[in-house]
Amino acid sequence: MPVKAVVFDAYGTLYDPQSVATVTDRAYPGYGEMITQVWRIKQLEYTWLRSLMQKYEDFESITSASLRYTLKLLGLPLIDSVFTSILEKYRWLDPYPEAHDALEGLAGHDLAILSNGSPNMLNELVRNTGFDRQINHVISVDPMRIYKPSPLAYALIETRLGVQPSEVMFVSSNPFDACGAKAFGLKVAWIDRVPSDAMVEACKRSDRIAPVTMFRAVRQQMDELGFDPDHRISSLTGLADLLQSELLG
């Protein structure tokens, strides 16, 4: 079936969660990278744990709780004003450098975001970065009160856009998300920003693995779950050609 809608994950796909390091390092000099990596790992884990426990809290609450965990783990003081300023960065995350041009190149397609983000923080982020002029639909999992990769989350695409799963190209750089979308029946393009050979070389260069390398090892390599993506691309730039090939195929 031809692709009728292109649906993007937000965090890690259109927006770089690691860009919070600009504020974490300023707030806690020397700890910025460590905070950023542990925070993101726990943030994702909390979405899965709360989904499994059926004890939903929205993504804003989870983001706050995982930051508290991180500061406590590292023995860093929690100062309310600093804590608030760090959380605020999630409303101003940096888009990946190619994101605006890639979306511009997809003009004419029905473009949407499906994200774990809570509606307020997600809508502000999209507006603050100007993506509201390019994205037609911003869909939060919040109404379902469960996080990706639950099938209930991906079902929102059909509900909101009126398309069948086979008519959707879902784009994510998060392996768990790519697997979840594929298991649901969506066409999937995974953005492989950290090829495995680059990971091998990074580990060879030192007998101590830096926090960012460890994060990439456990969160940015394709998982062995039996649901491989349909396409692997190295950045958002390849999407226009990919969709053209889908139309011709």
Q: What is the pLDDT of residues 217-232, one digit of tens each?
A: 666 678 889 999 999 9
Radius of gyration of the chain (CA): 18
**CA of 212: how far to CAs of 40, 87, 129, in Å?**
11, 20, 25
Using DSSP bridges, classify how beta strands 15-16 and 94-95 pair: parallel, antiparallel or unpaired: antiparallel
Could you tell me the two tokens for 152? 């209930």
**Could you report the per-residue pLDDT of 81-101, keeping only the tens digit for each?**
999 999 999 999 999 999 999
Tell me which amino acid residue 148 is: K
| HSE of 20, CA atoms in CB hemisphere, 13 A | 28
Query: Is residue 9 flagged as an active site residue?
Result: yes
**Residue 36 burial class via C-beta count within 10 angstroms: exposed 0-12, middle 13-18, buried 19 and up:** buried
Q: Which residues pair with 190 in a beta bridge?
A: 172, 232
**pLDDT beyond 70 at 200:** no
Q: How many CB atoms lie within 10 A of CB 32?
A: 18
Looking at residue 201, its pLDDT comes to 61
Reduced to 3 states (helix: H, G, I; strand: E, B; else coil), residue 77 is: coil
Domains present along the chain, CATH in parentheses? 5-16+94-248 (3.40.50.1000), 18-90 (1.10.150.240)
Looking at residue 135, its pLDDT comes to 97
Of 9, 110, 142, 192, which is the active-site residue? 9
Tell me the percentage of the chain whose pLDDT exceeds 90: 79
